[in-house]
Amino acid sequence: MSDTPQITDSHCHLDFPDFEGQLDQIVANAIDAGVTRMVTICTKLRNEPSVRAIADAHASVFYAAGTHPMSAADEPMATVDELVALSRHPKFVGIGETGLDYHYTADSAEVQKQSLRVHIEAAQRTGLPLIIHARAADEDMARILAEEHQNAPYSCVMHCFSSSAELAKAALDLGFYLSMSGIAAFPKSQELRDIFATAPVDRILVETDAPYLAPPPFRGKRNEPAYTAHTARKGAEVFGMDYADFAVQTQLNFERLFTKAATYKAAA
């Protein structure tokens, strides 16, 4: 294992039922593959205690919490104070995921925008990175991110980025990061790979979004953090880099953005 390049799965969902009763093995699989850190994401704040417990139970797991845009209309509206209070946990490293999704839930667009702005303010107040989900809402997303960044700067990752070149540029121009998921490794995703190739390599993260979006050769099966390595290998190809060098770069990128995870020291 010492010779395996180390990477971080910057976005997964270890509290989902797909992993029930298997987390010790899932985490062990990840570490064997060189995935030595994972950020598990809470998508509904009422589930935060169970997500926090996973991070507490596994040394290599950190967590973030927010209200997923597709749930914004069905969940209580988060408050800035609530998110700030949660952020005091030593392994809470990001705000979200939040964002806009008009693909299935365009009818709740106004509620999603309100929720997004709450999460942005929490990121501004805590200094923790915002974790954005964007789907079929590029224009509103770019506008709101820019408006709020002008009000007060904050850091951000466009998780599982699979949107337009225009949204990629808008995010990069604000100093934000783009995260590669298994989608970037799909055979038909050349257009997306071309978008990533135009980005600075020091602004790229890798993730699984497990249990979803498994990269080849596991496409169509349950994804897990260990498979981040397959996406990262494709990322290395996109940037014309050796895998070990790309792994080092994405680690540096993750630690620059998720500073709380980078400086975390477990209690003695």
**CATH number of domain containing 12:** 3.20.20.140
Asked whether 263 and 61 are in contact (CB, 8 A), the reply is no
* pTM for the predicted model, two decimal places: 0.97
Stated as kind and residue range, the H or E segment containing 236 is helix 228-238
Structural domain includes residue 267: no
Instruction: Please give the radius of gyration of the chain, using alpha carbons only, rounded to the nearest integer.
Output: 17
The total of structural domains in the chain comes to 1
Stated as kind and residue range, the H or E segment containing 41 is strand 35-42
Maximum Cα–Cα distance across the chain: 50
| The predicted structure's pLDDT at residue 86 | 98
Exposed, middle or buried by CB within 10 Å (0-12, 13-18, 19+), for 104?
exposed
Distance CA 112, CA 93 (A): 22
Which pLDDT tens digits describe the chain residue by residue (268 residues)? 458 999 999 999 999 999 999 999 999 999 999 999 999 999 999 999 999 999 999 999 999 999 999 999 999 999 999 999 999 999 999 999 999 999 999 999 999 999 999 999 999 999 999 999 999 999 999 999 999 999 999 999 999 999 999 999 999 999 999 999 999 999 999 999 999 999 999 999 999 999 999 999 999 999 999 999 999 999 999 999 999 999 999 999 999 999 999 999 876 4
Asked whether 22 and 268 are in contact (CB, 8 A), the reply is no
Q: Which residues, 6+ apart, have CB-to-CB distance to 123 below 8 Å? A: 95, 129, 130, 154, 155, 156
Give me the phi and psi of 25, to 5 degrees please. -70, -40
Residue whose pair of structure tokens reads 């060098």 in the numeric block: 245
Structural domain includes residue 71: yes
- Domain of 132 in residue numbering reads as 7-262
Structural domain includes residue 176: yes
**Strand runs (DSSP E) across 142-196, as ranges?**
156-158, 177-180
Structural domain includes residue 227: yes
3-class DSSP state of 263: coil
| The predicted structure's pLDDT at residue 268 | 45
Structural domain includes residue 1: no
Exposed, middle or buried by CB within 10 Å (0-12, 13-18, 19+), for 150?
exposed
Structural domain includes residue 35: yes
Distance CA 161, CA 169 (A): 12
Query: What's the angle, vertex CA 149, arms to CA 145 and CA 154, rounded to 5?
Result: 100
Structural domain includes residue 121: yes
Distance CA 69, CA 225 (A): 23
